[in-house]
Amino acid sequence: MTRLFYSTEKRDHGLRHDPFKALVVPRPIGWVSTLDKAGGANLAPFSFFNAISDSPPMLMFSIANGKDSLLNIQSTKECTCSLASRALVDEMNMSSAAVKSGVSEFDLANIQTAASSMVTPARVARSPAAFECRLWKTIELPVVEGRTGYTTVIVAVEGIYVDDSYIEDGMVDVAAMEPLARLGYMDYAVINQQNMFSLNRPEVDETGTSASLKSGPWDGVYK
């Protein structure tokens, strides 16, 4: 068996495109809303995005240096992160357009806004869920010569919205929300009932030296 190996410094993979982002998949999409100093709205999707803690709830996303979203959150210390869903795929895609500063992507993509409760930036009204966030820390990542660097933004989640229509039996019906996931190249995926499944965690015996697996779907108990 032969395997491709390449140096990330030299990027000598010999392929049409660097496969790095096609291998770290799927990635959630953080649809980040910010305001500039004058109160102008900005909305952009980021696929270097994820939750990094639930106690306290915190999120991270990385932004190319110089982007409006980064400048805005560094200035105002606030943002919202809305869930990008299949029903909003065209709006999400349009909001990624590299328009000039001062152009509202909400207007560009004809996206309805909803007021936040604890921060100033609006959220995407039709999104199934959204997070209101305040800046905790930014971390400048190493810059490769000749390339645009990135800054990682870590935010604390101050409030969470969930559309009531997606709550069933005291749990969020993620499959019904159909969240989008970013893959590599220009590829995306949708999370839905057809490609979701649950597992029970291993049960460790009293000695702490052995574990067993319970077959079937999740029994609803965190272990």
pLDDT tens profile 118-153: 999 999 999 999 999 999 999 999 998 888 899 999
> Please, how many CA atoms are within 13 Å of residue 189, restricted to the half-sphere of its CB?
16
How large is the average pLDDT for residues 55-78?
Answer: 97
Amino acid sitting at position 49: F
Token reading at 42? 């900005």
Q: What confidence tens digit (pLDDT) does each residue in 177-201 have?
A: 999 999 999 999 999 999 999 999 8
Strand (E) or helix (H) holding 169: none
Domains observed in the chain: 20-197 (2.30.110.10)
Give pLDDT, residue 217: 82
Residue 219 has pLDDT above 90, yes or no: no
The contacts found for 164-169 with CB under 8 angstroms, 24 or more apart, are 166/128, 166/129
Token reading at 23? 């291998």
Report H helices in 53-173: 68-76, 89-94, 105-108
- Rounded CA-CA distance 61/133 in Å is 12
Start-to-end Cα distance in the chain:
40
pLDDT band at residue 214 under the 50/70/90 scheme: confident
Residue 223 has pLDDT above 80, yes or no: no
- Rounded CA-CA distance 14/66 in Å is 30
Query: Which strands, in side-by-side order, build the sheet including 188-190?
Result: 27-28, 180-182, 188-190
Token reading at 209? 């030296």
Asked if 119 and 158 touch (Cβ cutoff 8 Å), the reply is: yes
pTM attached to this predicted model: 0.93
Tell me the residue length of the chain: 223
